[in-house]
């Protein structure tokens, strides 16, 4: 019997405002007046009416809700239209699962009772809107890739007597489970299989394998030697393991004369050299080998970090892509060593302009519309919100950048920091003597999958993200997140099973699902055998290849000694976590997969992991010279108030101003570890580095910061990368970090990576990573690359459009701080304090926010060419001195100069403390510049290695004694009034602004987004 | 039972966990650090051995996202308790015990109808993390009346913290000193120019009391204000030289432990 329970609010829904605000911005013909939101539970079961009634009662909080069974109209006020949003068949319905658990509990029913619950949200809309308006609203409410919508007018509902009682059950046709694929075919057909996928018996290609002809030929040869055709699942399996996403071929292959490839030569090469140079001071523990990188925290603990990207999934389904991104990278923490505890999340978003309303399509017929930058932004923000907040992990650190070139594909960086004891207890005597990070699956161990179940969601995610997004991008690549399933699993493993010594190895299921995780762990003992029919499924009917490569979320793979299985399974059961034996680790040298006793995969591990042919890459640089913004400067500069206006415009720039609307919707205080928050001071400015204290009994802390300058890459990716490193490091040192205990992570997001110029830019960028990480002795401990962030499609007029992101290197820094009580925040604190600038300013305005603003005003692309260059030796000295004055507690504030230069730094420090200041530029004549440009340079140059600090009068002499070894200038003083004043060499005011006004401008975009 | 109480100097605290509750570790630390002995117990372990509840004097429902707020915040966890531990909870309340529900724990307590009222979506519909100033209104062993402190500042982090109560019941609660805290404009709001009430709660109610003040439910997180460096004001206060030794939140835990220690 099918019944539908409606839970109807008794009180005004506080979410109404948000919905109305968003709908009424959709260009509707009429305004929506009001909306009521009803929760619906569609129940397919044999429950009696009385049982349904009891269940309805327990689902209702009578103070704020009432319920109705099967009849919606009798209990709600009149409305004009109804929109019901539910899930498509097979998509994870978290609320439905929880409701089912509650019903079983309440009615004392067995776990396997035939009871299905499908939930949906019903919007009862009032207003004189038309059907097409409602259709627009419906499109803004759901993503057709994973959700369904039902629209009806009040009249229709009345006529039908309610909503149609249709359950979204998955019905998969029965097909031949495994097919043989002949590779005795032409090269053209091989190319087609590689690019578009295996031709299914239904006549449809299954989606990209992302294998090129060279790889296909190697596979052809391998199976020729075996004397048989590969099975579909074997090809799918190879495609997963060999994908760019998993093998990082561009970083691994020889390029030009770099025969060991970029990764080995420059990334690993740098870290190995630094570790050797540091000798006893080396704090790296586990780098590049595990799911996260780990460094020493103190004598008892390690701290881990990993930053991932989830760009392609977020472009298709922003909410789903972002939430699975954040909970996915949480698993890189849980999967580190024997399981680290996630203690902080970080994020970084690069979006198109959210105010941009131009449309993009994936096909010429304009039937597959891309989501708008605003829609992508909203979905991504919500995804990281739900993922992080629900998991009880503080979202400590983050940034957001905007550029038109991110509208084809956004960049969604997500990262997680973990804490793990260096040694784990060995029960029953419980002595701490097991290394927490050296793990190895043993021959004979069970292969156990723990956590969520497998569905058709997330198929071809790994291969999809290795290609350009176009009309063939698969819908199934979308993954659905369920943070609570993962939270239960994470707690059961990290807080309990780990310390009971119940498993020998553990890894995360990410890209490629179990096909990758099991094959990866099989390396530890040289073989695995899987019985695929044992893998628990969300619904029956999946084909073996789908089960094998599905990226359904919230799963870990463990290697469990047979004699420990019972205890392990009992523990998981009692925590509401599903664990299933799916096979056994062997030493056969092979990866064998059986389905109902029939062998369907039989591949040598050696071929699976090392068979991928090397392909030397060649790069060729194309010089790029930009115009200098000469004309506007000669025209406008001398006019009165010019610089004040420029300052206000820059402060209004989304790449500089506040994103407190993001920071304050992410819980950054759970786990009670917060020391330096994402927002600081009276004026709540976004901090460039954050500090938290993960172990309650210790005053040691962890500092996190980032650096990235996508715009600089237009001029030089070498200097872009150097600046990113310098900035991440400087931001960390500014708040109390130390170079002696600081590591960095690299995330390369590139575009058209087979293009020789893009490869040349990549080589330059990687070389800079080597030079500067070695120079600062900050080892690279973990990294990730996403090489094909390109969009190919059509604009509103059906013209073909190609949009590539600007090459982007994100550098994230993580460091350990001896004493968090010495933390220094960026804003001005006290009237009377003296303001100093540490470091030197050069004529480095190329691609600066100032020049970009001028170019925008002039509608040209004259962004100049003098991109900032990093003077390693000088900056190193500056940073060591900065460390010293912080340790001696001689400064009251410290702010790192980044985008927007000195003027923006002063404005932020000032409005952050809601204190005025008087600055005289005489004290800061720029190096090597003509006098006419000196003000522009002084105010807005983005030269690296500079810090703005304030010092209390009583500490002046001690401070000046400490900084005399480096370049520094006393440039002004903090005042208690509202005046922000900068004067030039002749003491003439060149900037005069009100701090309150600056504060208002700084927060205006964020306030609009609230 | 009495025997245990007189023998043990340190009061025992049960901190519930499981299904997405997530503040159990810091809540345990808070109780331990002020002289209690706190155990984190998974709800399924308590269901398996409900008798252990009689060993405890204090019960804490920590913050978190039990069941991901599916079916309504706190509802599914409360339903689990109702379905399995109704009797034991009643027995616990019948003794001279204390209960605290923080954030999601407060939502659980209202769904259990141990505390009056309900919690719904914040007035702007969004999740919010910020600090608030609280005025202490009620009378309870949990509160700081005895120490003469009237105002404290704590952080909130929630999407559904808007407290709802009908007017008649409110008047009765007010008379009975059952309103634990109200949001007020104090140090934090003045500092960062924030409105006092972050979620639109009726009569600015941030926490309520039941069972003669023995049960406290509150949206703000006292366990996230244990150390002085938790406060957004600490940098400023450090420079001005008026930094307190500890955070405001720890006082609540101290009061609860002292309630038993002083017996």
The reply to whether B203 touches chain A by the CB within 8 Å rule is no
Q: Are residues A225 and A363 in the same domain?
A: no
State how far residue B122 is from chain A, nearest Cα, in angstroms: 6
* Residues from chain B contacting residue A666 (CB–CB below 8 Å): 127, 129
**Which residues of A, range 836-875, sit inside 8 Å of B by Cβ?**
none
The reply to whether A675 touches chain B by the CB within 8 Å rule is yes
Residue A275 lies in a domain: no
If you write DSSP's letter for every residue of A409-445 in order, what string do you get?
S-EEEEEEEEEEESEEEETTTTEEEEESS-----TTP
The reply to whether A698 touches chain B by the CB within 8 Å rule is no
Residue A408 lies in a domain: yes
Q: Are residues A898 and A816 in the same domain?
A: no
Q: Are residues A299 and A396 in the same domain?
A: yes
* Residues from chain B contacting residue A696 (CB–CB below 8 Å): 26, 29, 33
Contact yes or no for B200 and A14 at CB 8 A: yes
Min mean pLDDT across A82-91, B21-30, B78-87 is at A82-91
Of residues B5 and A954, more confidence is placed in A954
The nearest alpha carbon in chain A to B48 belongs to A574
Contact yes or no for A669 and B82 at CB 8 A: no
**pLDDT value, residue A468:** 54
Q: For A181-234, what is each residue's pLDDT tens digit?
A: 888 888 888 888 888 888 877 777 877 888 888 888 889 999 999 999 999 899
Mean pLDDT to the nearest integer, A966-975? 95
Mean pLDDT, chain A, integer: 90
Look at chain B and report how many structural domains it folds into.
1
Of residues A421 and A206, more confidence is placed in A421
- What percent of chain A is modeled with pLDDT above 90? 64
Q: Is residue A792 pLDDT above 80, yes or no? A: yes
Given a contact cutoff of 8 angstroms between Cβ atoms, the answer to whether A659 and A354 are in contact is no
- What percent of chain A is modeled with pLDDT above 70? 95
* Full strand arrangement of the beta sheet holding B205-210: B37-42, B12-17, B58-61, B98-102, B215-218, B205-210, B179-184, B128-136, B151-158
* Residues from chain A contacting residue B20 (CB–CB below 8 Å): 390, 392, 483-484, 487-488
Top residue of A39, A664, A669, A955 to mutate, by most chain B CBs within 10 Å, is A669
Q: Name the nearest CA neighbour of A819 among A727, A744, A741.
A: A741
Of residues A824 and A161, more confidence is placed in A824
Domain containing residue A149: CATH number: 3.30.1280.10
**Which residues of B, range 5-34, sit inside 8 Å of A by Cβ?**
17-23, 25-26, 29, 33
**pLDDT value, residue A923:** 54
SS3 A999: helix
* Residues from chain B contacting residue A684 (CB–CB below 8 Å): 192
Tokens of B110: 């209202």
The range of the structural domain enclosing residue A814 comes to: 283-427+668-763+771-823
Q: Which of B23, B103, B162, B189 is catalytic?
A: B103
The reply to whether B63 touches chain A by the CB within 8 Å rule is yes
Q: How far apart are CA B159 and CA A701, in angstroms?
A: 29
Q: Are residues A487 and A394 in the same domain?
A: no
Q: For A478-518, what is each residue's pLDDT tens digit?
A: 667 788 899 999 999 999 999 999 999 999 988 888 989 99
State how far residue B16 is from chain A, nearest Cα, in angstroms: 13
**pLDDT value, residue A979:** 96
Out of A130, A160, A190, a domain closes at A160
Min mean pLDDT across A170-184, A301-315, A527-541, B216-230 is at A170-184
Contact yes or no for A63 and B117 at CB 8 A: yes
**Side-chain-side CA neighbours of residue A676 (13 Å):** 32
Cβ-defined contacts of A260-269 (< 8 Å, 24+): A262/A762, A262/A763, A262/A766, A265/A770, A266/A766, A266/A767, A266/A769, A266/A770, A267/A746, A267/A766, A267/A769, A267/A770, A267/A780, A267/A783, A269/A770
Q: How far apart are CA A121 and CA B159, in angstroms?
A: 18
Top residue of B105, B107, B119, B232 to mutate, by most chain A CBs within 10 Å, is B232
Tokens of A957: 């002499």
Top residue of B31, B33, B47, B70 to mutate, by most chain A CBs within 10 Å, is B70
Nearest to B192 among A63, A674, A684 (CB): A684
Q: Is residue A467 pLDDT above 70, yes or no? A: no
Residues 6+ apart with CB under 8 A from A516: A240, A241, A246, A462, A509, A510
Q: Name the nearest CA neighbour of A483 among A436, A414, A542.
A: A414
Q: Is residue A58 pLDDT above 60, yes or no? A: yes
Query: What are the angstrom distances between the C-alpha of A617 and each of A267, A790, A924?
Result: 18, 20, 47
Residue A592 lies in a domain: yes
Q: How far apart are CA A953 and CA A831, in angstroms?
A: 10
Nearest to B125 among A15, A675, A682 (CB): A15
* Residues from chain A contacting residue B45 (CB–CB below 8 Å): 574
State how far residue B94 is from chain A, nearest Cα, in angstroms: 25
Q: How far apart are CA B154 and CA B161, in angstroms?
A: 14
**pLDDT value, residue A197:** 84
Q: Are residues A887 and A831 in the same domain?
A: yes
Domain containing residue A957: CATH number: 3.90.650.10
Of residues A972 and A640, more confidence is placed in A972
Q: For A682-726, what is each residue's pLDDT tens digit?
A: 999 999 999 999 999 999 999 999 999 999 999 999 999 999 999
The pLDDT-based confidence of A808 (bands split at 50, 70, 90) is very high
Tell me the β-bridge partners of A799. none
Q: Are residues A413 and A486 in the same domain?
A: no
Give phi and psi for A202, each to the nearest 5.
Answer: -80, -5
Q: For A865-898, what is each residue's pLDDT tens digit?
A: 999 999 999 999 999 999 999 999 999 999 999 9
Q: Are residues A595 and A673 in the same domain?
A: no
Q: For A598-639, what is each residue's pLDDT tens digit?
A: 999 999 989 988 888 888 999 999 988 888 887 666 665 556
Q: Are residues A835 and A865 in the same domain?
A: yes
Given a contact cutoff of 8 angstroms between Cβ atoms, the answer to whether B219 and B108 are in contact is no
Query: What are the angstrom distances between the C-alpha of B78 and each of A103, A119, A125, A681?
Result: 13, 20, 32, 39
**pLDDT value, residue A260:** 93
The predicted complex's ipTM stands at: 0.93
**pLDDT value, residue B3:** 46
Contact yes or no for A670 and B22 at CB 8 A: yes
Q: For A237-277, what is each residue's pLDDT tens digit?
A: 888 888 877 778 899 999 999 999 999 999 999 999 999 99
∠ CA B86-B90-B92, nearest 5°, is 120
Q: How far apart are CA A734 and CA A736, in angstroms?
A: 6
State how far residue B2 is from chain A, nearest Cα, in angstroms: 32
* Residues from chain A contacting residue B117 (CB–CB below 8 Å): 63
Residues 6+ apart with CB under 8 A from A834: A950, A951, A953, A956, A970, A972, A973, A974
Q: Which of B24, B158, B189, B221 is catalytic?
A: B221
A–B interface: beta-carbon pairs under 8 A? 182
Q: Is B221 considered catalytic here?
A: yes
Q: Is B137 considered catalytic here?
A: no
The nearest alpha carbon in chain A to B70 belongs to A95
* Residues from chain B contacting residue A693 (CB–CB below 8 Å): 227, 229
Q: Is residue A831 pLDDT above 90, yes or no? A: yes
Domain containing residue A794: CATH number: 3.30.1330.10
- Tell me how far the alpha carbon of residue B5 is from its chain's centroid: 23
Q: Is B103 considered catalytic here?
A: yes
**pLDDT value, residue A495:** 94
Domain containing residue B45: CATH number: 3.40.50.880
* Residues from chain B contacting residue A11 (CB–CB below 8 Å): 120, 164
* Residues from chain A contacting residue B48 (CB–CB below 8 Å): 574
Top residue of B29, B30, B76, B233 to mutate, by most chain A CBs within 10 Å, is B76
Contact yes or no for A672 and B230 at CB 8 A: yes
Q: For A912-940, what is each residue's pLDDT tens digit?
A: 999 999 999 875 556 655 656 788 899 99
Q: Is residue A473 pLDDT above 50, yes or no? A: no
Q: Are residues A710 and A587 in the same domain?
A: no
State how far residue A699 is from chain B, nearest Cα, in angstroms: 11
Contact yes or no for B84 and A952 at CB 8 A: no
**Side-chain-side CA neighbours of residue A619 (13 Å):** 24
If you write DSSP's letter for every residue of A455-475 in order, what string do you get?
-STTTTHHHHTTS-BSTT--G
Given a contact cutoff of 8 angstroms between Cβ atoms, the answer to whether A743 and A778 are in contact is yes
Tokens of B122: 């914040």
Q: For B30-84, what is each residue's pLDDT tens digit?
A: 999 999 999 999 999 999 999 999 999 999 999 999 998 999 999 999 999 999 9
Q: How far apart are CA A129 and CA A26, in angstroms?
A: 12
SS3 B170: helix
Mean pLDDT to the nearest integer, A557-565? 95
Min mean pLDDT across A156-165, A698-707, B20-29 is at A156-165
Of residues B256 and A146, more confidence is placed in B256
Q: Which of B24, B137, B160, B223 is catalytic?
A: B223
Q: Are residues A120 and A183 in the same domain?
A: no
Neighbours of A17 (CB within 10 A): 15
Q: For B138-155, what is each residue's pLDDT tens digit?
A: 999 999 766 778 899 999
Of residues A427 and B183, more confidence is placed in B183
Q: How far apart are CA A401 and CA A285, in angstroms?
A: 33
Q: Are residues A840 and A980 in the same domain?
A: yes
Nearest to A98 among B18, B71, B118 (CB): B71
Q: Are residues A467 and A391 in the same domain?
A: no
Nearest to B42 among A97, A575, A892 (CB): A575
Of residues A121 and A183, more confidence is placed in A121
**Which residues of B, range 90-109, sit inside 8 Å of A by Cβ?**
none
The pLDDT-based confidence of B2 (bands split at 50, 70, 90) is very low
Tokens of B69: 């707020």
The range of the structural domain enclosing residue B192 comes to: 2-261
Residue A434 lies in a domain: no
- Tell me how far the alpha carbon of residue A206 is from its chain's centroid: 28
Q: How far apart are CA A975 and CA A272, in angstroms?
A: 49
**pLDDT value, residue A738:** 97
Q: Is residue B5 pLDDT above 70, yes or no? A: no
The nearest alpha carbon in chain A to B65 belongs to A390
Q: For A274-304, what is each residue's pLDDT tens digit?
A: 999 999 999 999 998 888 999 999 999 999 9
Contact yes or no for B164 and A11 at CB 8 A: yes
The reply to whether A111 touches chain B by the CB within 8 Å rule is no
Contact yes or no for A16 and B25 at CB 8 A: no
Q: Is residue A63 pLDDT above 70, yes or no? A: yes
Look at chain A and report how many structural domains it folds into.
4
**pLDDT value, residue A472:** 47
Give phi and psi for B120, each to the nearest 5.
Answer: -130, -175
Contact yes or no for A484 and B26 at CB 8 A: no
The pLDDT-based confidence of A368 (bands split at 50, 70, 90) is confident
**pLDDT value, residue B73:** 92
The reply to whether A95 touches chain B by the CB within 8 Å rule is yes
The H-or-E segment that residue A3 falls in is: strand A2-9
Q: Is residue A164 pLDDT above 90, yes or no? A: no
């Amino acid at each position: 019997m099918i019944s539908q329970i409606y839970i109807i609010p008794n009180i005004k829904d506080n979410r109404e405002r948000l919905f109305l605000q968003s709908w009424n911005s959709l260009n509707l013909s009429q305004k929506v007046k009001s909306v009521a939101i009803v929760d619906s539970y569609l129940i397919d079961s044999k429950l009696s009416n009385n049982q349904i009634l009891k269940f309805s009662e327990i689902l209702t909080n009578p103070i704020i809700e009432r319920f109705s069974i099967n009849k919606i109209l009798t209990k709600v006020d009149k409305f004009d239209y109804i929109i019901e949003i539910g899930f498509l068949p097979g998509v994870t319905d978290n609320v439905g699962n929880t409701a089912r658990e509650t019903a079983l509990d309440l009615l004392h029913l067995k776990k396997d009772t035939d009871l299905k619950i499908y939930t949906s949200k019903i919007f009862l809309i009032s207003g004189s809107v038309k059907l097409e308006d409602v259709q627009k609203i419906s499109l803004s409410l759901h993503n057709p890739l994973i959700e369904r919508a039902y629209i009806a007018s009040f009249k229709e509902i009345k006529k039908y007597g309610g909503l149609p009682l249709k359950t979204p059950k998955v019905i998969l046709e029965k097909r031949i489970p495994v097919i043989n694929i002949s590779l005795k075919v032409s090269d053209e057909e091989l190319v087609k299989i590689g690019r578009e996928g295996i031709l299914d018996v239904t006549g449809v290609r299954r989606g990209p394998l992302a294998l090129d002809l060279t790889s296909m030929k190697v596979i052809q040869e391998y199976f020729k030697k075996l004397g048989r055709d590969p099975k579909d699942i074997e090809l799918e399996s190879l495609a997963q393991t060999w994908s760019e996403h998993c093998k990082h071929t561009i970083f691994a292959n020889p390029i030009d004369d770099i025969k060991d490839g970029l990764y080995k030569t420059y990334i690993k090469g740098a870290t190995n050299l630094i570790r050797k140079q540091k000798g006893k001071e080396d704090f790296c523990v586990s780098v590049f080998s595990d799911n996260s990188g780990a460094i020493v925290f103190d004598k008892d603990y390690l701290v881990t970090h990993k930053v991932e990207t989830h760009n392609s999934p977020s472009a298709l389904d922003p909410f789903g892509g972002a939430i699975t991104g954040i909970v996915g990278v949480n698993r890189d923490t849980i999967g580190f060593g024997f399981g680290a505890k996630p203690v902080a999340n970080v994020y970084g978003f690069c979006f198109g302009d959210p105010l941009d309303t131009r449309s993009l399509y994936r096909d010429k017929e304009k039937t597959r519309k891309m989501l708008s930058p605003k829609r992508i932004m909203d979905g991504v923000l919500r995804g990281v919100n739900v993922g992080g907040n629900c998991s009880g992990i503080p979202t400590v650190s983050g940034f957001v950048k905007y550029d038109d070139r991110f509208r084809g594909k956004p960049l969604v960086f997500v990262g997680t920091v973990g804490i793990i004891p260096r040694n784990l207890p060995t029960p029953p005597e419980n002595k701490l003597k097991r290394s927490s990070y050296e793990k190895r699956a043993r021959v004979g161990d069970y292969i156990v999958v723990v956590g969520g179940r497998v569905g058709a969601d997330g198929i071809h995610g790994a291969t999809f993200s290795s290609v350009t997004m176009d009309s063939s991008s698969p819908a199934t690549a979308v993954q659905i997140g369920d943070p609570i399933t993962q939270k239960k699993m994470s707690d059961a493993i990290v807080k309990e099973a780990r310390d009971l010594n119940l498993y020998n190895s553990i890894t995360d299921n990410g890209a490629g699902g179990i096909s990758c995780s099991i094959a990866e762990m099989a390396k530890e003992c040289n073989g695995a055998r899987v019985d695929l029919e044992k893998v628990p499924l969300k619904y029956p009917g999946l084909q073996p290849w789908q089960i094998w490569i599905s990226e359904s979320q919230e799963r870990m793979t463990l290697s469990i000694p047979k004699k420990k299985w019972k205890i392990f399974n009992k523990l998981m059961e009692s925590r509401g976590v599903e664990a299933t034996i799916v096979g056994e680790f062997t030493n056969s040298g092979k990866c064998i997969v059986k389905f109902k006793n029939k062998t369907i995969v039989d591949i040598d591990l050696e071929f699976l992991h090392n068979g991928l042919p090397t392909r030397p890459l060649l790069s060729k640089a194309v010089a790029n010279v930009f115009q200098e913004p000469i004309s506007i400067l000669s025209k406008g500069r001398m006019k009165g108030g010019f610089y004040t206006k420029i300052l206000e415009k820059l402060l209004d720039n989304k790449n500089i101003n506040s994103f407190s609307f993001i920071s304050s919707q992410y819980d950054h205080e759970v786990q009670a570890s917060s020391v330096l928050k994402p927002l600081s001071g009276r004026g709540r400015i976004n901090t460039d580095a954050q500090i938290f204290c993960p172990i309650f009994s210790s005053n040691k802390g962890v500092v996190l910061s980032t650096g990235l300058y996508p715009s600089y890459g237009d001029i030089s990716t070498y200097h872009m990368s150097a600046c990113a490193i310098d900035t991440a490091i400087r931001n960390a040192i500014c708040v109390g970090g130390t170079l002696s205990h600081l590591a960095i992570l690299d995330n390369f997001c590139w575009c058209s990576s087979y293009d020789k110029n893009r490869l040349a830019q990549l080589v330059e960028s990687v070389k800079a990573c080597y030079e500067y990480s070695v120079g600062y002795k900050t080892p690279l401990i973990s990294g990730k690359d996403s090489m094909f962030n390109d969009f190919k499609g059509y604009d509103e007029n059906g013209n073909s459009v190609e949009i590539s992101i600007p090459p982007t290197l994100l550098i994230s820094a993580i460091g350990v701080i001896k004493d968090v009580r010495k933390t220094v925040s960026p804003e001005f604190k006290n009237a009377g304090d003296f303001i100093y600038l540490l470091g030197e300013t050069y004529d480095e305005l190329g691609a600066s926010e100032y020049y970009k603003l001028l170019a925008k005003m002039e509608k040209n692309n004259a962004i100049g060419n003098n991109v900032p260059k990093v003077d390693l030796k000088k900056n190193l000295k500056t940073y060591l001195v900065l460390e010293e004055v912080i340790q001696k507690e001689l400064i009251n504030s410290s702010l790192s100069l980044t985008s927007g230069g000195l003027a923006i730094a002063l404005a932020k420090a000032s409005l952050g403390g809601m204190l005025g200041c008087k600055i005289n530029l005489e004290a800061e004549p720029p190096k090597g510049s003509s006098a006419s440009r000196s003000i522009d340079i002084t105010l807005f140059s983005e030269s690296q290695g500079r810090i703005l600090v304030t010092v209390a009068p009583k500490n002046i002499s001690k401070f000046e004694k400490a900084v005399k070894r480096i370049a520094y200038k006393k440039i002004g003083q903090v005042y208690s009034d509202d005046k922000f004043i900068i004067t030039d060499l002749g003491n003439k005011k060149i900037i005069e602004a009100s701090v309150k006004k600056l504060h208002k401008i700084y927060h205006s975009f964020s306030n609009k987004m609230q | 039972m009495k025997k245990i109480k007189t023998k043990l100097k340190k009061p025992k605290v049960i901190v519930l966990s499981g299904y997405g509750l997530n503040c159990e570790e810091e809540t345990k630390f808070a109780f331990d650090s002020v002289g209690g002995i706190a155990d984190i117990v998974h709800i399924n372990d308590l269901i398996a051995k409900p008798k252990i509840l009689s060993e405890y004097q204090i019960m804490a429902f920590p913050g978190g996202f039990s069941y991901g707020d599916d079916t309504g915040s706190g509802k599914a966890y409360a339903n689990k308790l109702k379905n399995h531990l109704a009797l034991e909870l009643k027995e616990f309340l019948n003794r001279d015990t204390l209960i605290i529900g923080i954030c999601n724990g407060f939502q659980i307590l209202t769904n259990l109808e141990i505390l009056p009222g309900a919690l719904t979506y914040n007035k702007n519909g969004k999740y919010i993390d910020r600090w608030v100033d609280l005025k202490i209104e009620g009378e309870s062993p949990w509160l700081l009346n005895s120490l003469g402190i009237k105002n404290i500042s704590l952080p909130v982090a929630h999407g559904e913290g808007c407290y709802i109560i009908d007017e008649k019941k409110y008047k009765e609660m007010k008379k009975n000193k059952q309103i634990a805290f109200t949001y007020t404009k104090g140090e934090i709001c003045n500092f960062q120019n924030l409105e006092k009430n972050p979620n639109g709660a009726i009569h600015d109610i941030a926490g309520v009391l039941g069972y003669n003040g023995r049960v406290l439910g509150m949206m703000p997180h006292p366990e996230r204000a244990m150390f002085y460096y938790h406060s957004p004001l600490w940098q400023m206060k450090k420079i001005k030289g008026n930094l307190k030794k500890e955070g405001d939140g720890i006082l609540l835990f101290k009061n609860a432990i002292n309630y038993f220690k002083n017996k």
